[in-house]
Amino acid sequence: MSELSDLYQELILDHNRSPRNRGKVEAPDGSAQGYNPLCGDQISVSMKMNGDKIESVKFEGSGCAISTASASLMTEALKGKTKAEATELFEKFHKLLTEEGSSIELGPGMGKLAVFSGVCQYPARVKCATLAWHTVKAAIDNEDEPVTTE
């Protein structure tokens, strides 16, 4: 197994067993619901802003290991980011998972999220890994309708 594959497995297992930022933000400035009808993953994201910066972001719900780990890693990556930076990170992450063989420039800020680069080889798992991201994007954009991966 490659070093990235080993790191992927280690991070997914760690963040699935002990998800970071699980729960609900009190008096959130934004929130959204997400659902993956293919596998039944459900997520709720709430966030607190400090001006234009994400002060706190948390998630609740149930899902597979990839979905839970992605949500956990996402919340860590988004803290302290502006809405524009969070949207840019969402776009980079989505591209990373959907464009196999892409020469995407991961750049600063991707950090541990780079381990998801191999998910694009498993199309059904892409929806698991991106559910939390689509949901937080809806919270940032103040969308009222639940997000679905379909």
| Span 98-148, pLDDT tens digits | 876 554 555 555 788 887 887 877 888 999 999 999 999 999 999 989 999
What pLDDT, on the 0 to 100 scale, is given for residue 103? 45
The per-residue pLDDT of the chain, averaged, comes to: 88
Edge-to-edge strands, sheet with 30-36:
53-62, 41-50, 30-36, 147-148
Q: Map tokens 């699980």 to a residue.
A: 22
Q: Rounded mean pLDDT of 22-51?
A: 95
Residue range 81-103: mean pLDDT, rounded: 84
φ, ψ dihedrals at 30, nearest 5°: -160, 145
Q: Which of 32, 21, 5 lies closest to 133, judged by CA?
A: 32
Give the pLDDT score at 101. 52
- Tell me the average pLDDT across 59-66: 94
User: Which token pair is 46?
Assistant: 């709430």
What is the pLDDT at residue 8? 72
Percent of the residues in the chain that have a pLDDT greater than 70, as a whole number? 89
Check pLDDT > 60 for residue 45. Answer: yes
Residues 6+ apart with CB under 8 A from 13: 65, 69
Region 3-142: CATH code: 3.90.1010.10
Mean pLDDT over 84-110 rounds to: 76
* pLDDT for position 39: 87
93-105 as b/e, with b when 16 or more CB fall inside 10 Å? bbebbeeeeeeee
What is the structure's pLDDT at 105?
A: 55
In one-letter notation, the amino acid at residue 68 is T
Residue 106 has a pLDDT of 55
In this prediction, residue 7 carries a pLDDT of 66
Q: Return the domain boundaries, the chain.
A: 3-142
pLDDT of residue 1: 47
